[in-house]
């Protein structure tokens, strides 16, 4: 048989909710951080674009006539003065080319020689409107047209140092991460404490329901929240339910005691009748012995009668004691148990003049590995109910069959159908209605305890109740 993998332990609700709140805060922090970084990127891009535009426009005004005249020394001198300015420190390299793209001058002539192709410098350059501090490098390359008096007279290539902006962005990201982590940690701790406090009544309720070993206990008044909130009402409702369950259990206990006394009364009445009849014969035998002490054959016959009567009384007494004695758990069912039941039920059968059909297919050498006590209780309760239901001169049947996998008890009786209240006791778990016994409920509980099942059928004015008990205790419960 394939074994299922063990289920992982469930996480308490008092842990789940703070974790969920922390996860939501992490999500909110991540979204907020992303928005902050995007805003910072837009500000930095606008700033670098504005700086580059001012640089290009200023050079265009200053260099336009010089480029037209190809005055290389003046162009170089202008670039050198521009590089000495405050914002010129961000411009690590600037080169100016004519209309053909040939370099006229550059701030670093050794890197960008005169008359070289400006395309070699601006191979990865972008236009002014596409300039962006995207974090791919600390230097941005810009290629812009040199416009003078409305026409393009050359090109300007510039490399801008944005390492300080990238450092600013990294510092902002680090501060956001640290701030979010600190805020999430503090808020998670505060949320854990708050949720734990709010859920304390629920935790108490769960503990009361799971750790009471089948007997619920009320929640102490000191642990019930004040006021009239939902949790306070829940705790009070639970306490009311515990009181109702205790009252129900007490009522069922009293009903069980009353049913026991009723059953004992019925058995006592039948046994008194069964014992009283032989006593008359025994007294006649003693009178005969006193009257004819000199006739050995009469004395012998009377002594035999006394022996049989006394043995019968001994058997009836023994069965009565056995029926009310708690059997040890290791005593299994044998044919003698059913013979005892037959002797025990016989007075009731005789009193009502019933026709009893008795069939037990259980050999001594093939004992059923089932506890004898519960089976005897089940059979006796069902037989007493069958005798009562069949009425005087009715028919009662008792059939037992033990096979390899189960023991089957079948009790039949003539008479009216089993009332709904009796069926509820035999098949239901609800509260017992007043005015009835608990014998059938006891049959149900004993059968469930043995892992068995119960069946009921009414056909041709005959009621048939079948009880099946598996010989293996691992068999599942079932009901029909």
Distance CA 451, CA 453 (A): 7
- What is the SS3 string spanning 446-461? HHHHCCCEEEEEEECC
Residues 372, 331 contacting (CB under 8 angstroms)? yes
Task: Read off the tokens for 421.
Answer: 């209240």
Query: What's the confidence (pLDDT) of residue 468?
Result: 93
For 13-184, which CATH class? alpha beta
- Residue whose tokens read 């109702």: 244
CATH topology agreement for domains 13-184 and 332-480? no
Low-confidence ranges of the chain (pLDDT < 50): 1-2, 326-328, 437, 475-480
Two structure tokens written together for 124: 């990865």
The pTM of the full predicted model, rounded to 2 decimals, is 0.42
Domain ranges of the chain: 13-184, 332-480
Residue 312 has a CB neighbour count (10 Å cut-off) of 17
Write the DSSP assignment of 205-231 as a string of letters: HHHHHHSSTTS--PPPGGGSPSSS-HH
CA–CA distance, 109 with 96 (Å, rounded to integer): 11
Going by C-alpha positions, the residue among 425, 426, 443 that lies closest to residue 435 is 425
R_g (Cα) of the chain, nearest Å = 51
User: What confidence score (pLDDT) does residue 471 get?
Assistant: 82
Residue 324, pLDDT score:
54
Q: What is the residue-wise DSSP string for 67-104?
A: HHHT-HHHHHHHHHHHHTSTGGGTEEEEEEEETTSBEE
> Residue 147: beta bridge partners?
152
β-strands 139-148, 151-161 pairing: antiparallel
Q: Are 94 and 111 in contact (CB under 8 A)?
A: no
Place of tokens 């009181």: 243
DSSP 354: -
Nearest to 160 by CA among 26, 56, 7: 56
pLDDT (0 to 100) of residue 399: 94
| Residues contacting residue 70 through CB under 8 Å, at least 6 positions apart | 98, 104
195's CB contacts (< 8 A; 6+ apart) are 14, 17, 18, 21
Q: Which pLDDT score is estimated for 366?
A: 54
Question: With helix as H, strand as E and coil as C, how does 34-52 read?
Answer: HHHHHHHHHHHHHHHHHHH
Please give the structure tokens belonging to residue 275: 């014992």
CA atoms within 13 A on the CB side of 392: 2
Give yes or no for a contact between 448 and 454, defined as CB atoms under 8 angstroms apart.
no
Contact 426, 454 (CB under 8 A): yes
CATH architecture of the domain 332-480 equals 2-Layer Sandwich (3.30)
| pLDDT given at position 266 | 58
CB of 412 closer than 8 Å to CB of 396: yes
């Amino acid at each position: 048989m394939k074994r299922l993998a063990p289920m992982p332990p469930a996480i308490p609700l008092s842990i789940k909710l703070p974790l969920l709140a922390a996860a939501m805060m992490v999500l909110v922090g991540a979204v907020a951080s992303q928005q902050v970084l995007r805003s910072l990127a837009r500000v930095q891009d606008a700033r670098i674009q504005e700086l580059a535009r001012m640089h290009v426009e200023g050079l265009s005004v200053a260099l336009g006539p010089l480029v037209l005249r190809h005055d290389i020394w003046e162009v170089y001198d202008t670039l050198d003065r521009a590089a000495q300015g405050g914002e010129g420190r961000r411009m690590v390299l600037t080169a100016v080319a004519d209309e053909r793209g040939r370099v006229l001058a550059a701030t670093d002539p050794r890197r960008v020689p005169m008359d070289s192709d400006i395309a070699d410098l601006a191979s990865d350059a972008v236009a002014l409107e596409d300039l962006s501090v995207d974090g791919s490098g600390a230097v941005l390359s810009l290629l812009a047209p040199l416009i003078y008096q409305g026409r393009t007279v050359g090109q300007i290539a510039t490399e801008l140092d944005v390492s300080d902006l990238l450092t600013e962005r990294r510092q902002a990201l680090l501060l956001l991460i640290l701030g979010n982590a600190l805020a999430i940690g503090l808020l998670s701790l505060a949320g854990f404490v708050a949720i734990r406090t709010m859920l304390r009544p629920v935790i108490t309720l769960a503990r009361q329901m799971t750790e009471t070993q089948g007997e619920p206990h009320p929640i102490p008044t000191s642990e019930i929240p004040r006021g009239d909130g939902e949790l306070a009402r829940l705790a009070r409702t639970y306490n009311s339910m515990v009181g109702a369950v205790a009252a129900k259990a007490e009522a069922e206990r009293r009903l069980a005691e009353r049913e026991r006394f009723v059953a004992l009364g019925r058995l006592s009445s039948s046994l008194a009748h069964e014992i009283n009849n032989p006593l008359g014969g025994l007294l006649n035998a003693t009178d005969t012995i006193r009257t004819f002490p000199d006739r050995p054959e009469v004395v012998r016959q009377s002594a035999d009668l006394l022996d049989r009567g006394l043995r019968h009384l001994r058997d009836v007494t023994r069965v009565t004691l056995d029926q009310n004695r708690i059997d040890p758990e290791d005593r299994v069912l044998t044919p003698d148990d059913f013979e005892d039941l037959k002797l025990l039920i016989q007075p009731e059968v005789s009193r009502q003049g019933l026709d009893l059909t008795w069939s037990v297919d259980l050999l001594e050498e093939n004992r059923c590995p089932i506890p004898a006590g519960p089976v005897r209780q089940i059979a006796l309760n069902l037989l007493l109910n069958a005798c009562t239901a069949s009425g005087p001169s009715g028919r009662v049947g008792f059939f037992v069959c033990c096979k390899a996998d189960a023991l089957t008890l079948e009790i039949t009786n003539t008479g009216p159908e089993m009332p709904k209240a009796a069926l509820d006791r035999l098949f239901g778990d609800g509260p017992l209605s007043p005015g009835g016994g608990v014998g059938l409920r006891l049959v149900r509980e004993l059968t469930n305890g043995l892992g068995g099942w119960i069946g009921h059928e009414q056909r041709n004015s005959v009621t048939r109740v079948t009880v099946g008990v598996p010989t293996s205790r691992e068999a599942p419960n079932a009901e029909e």
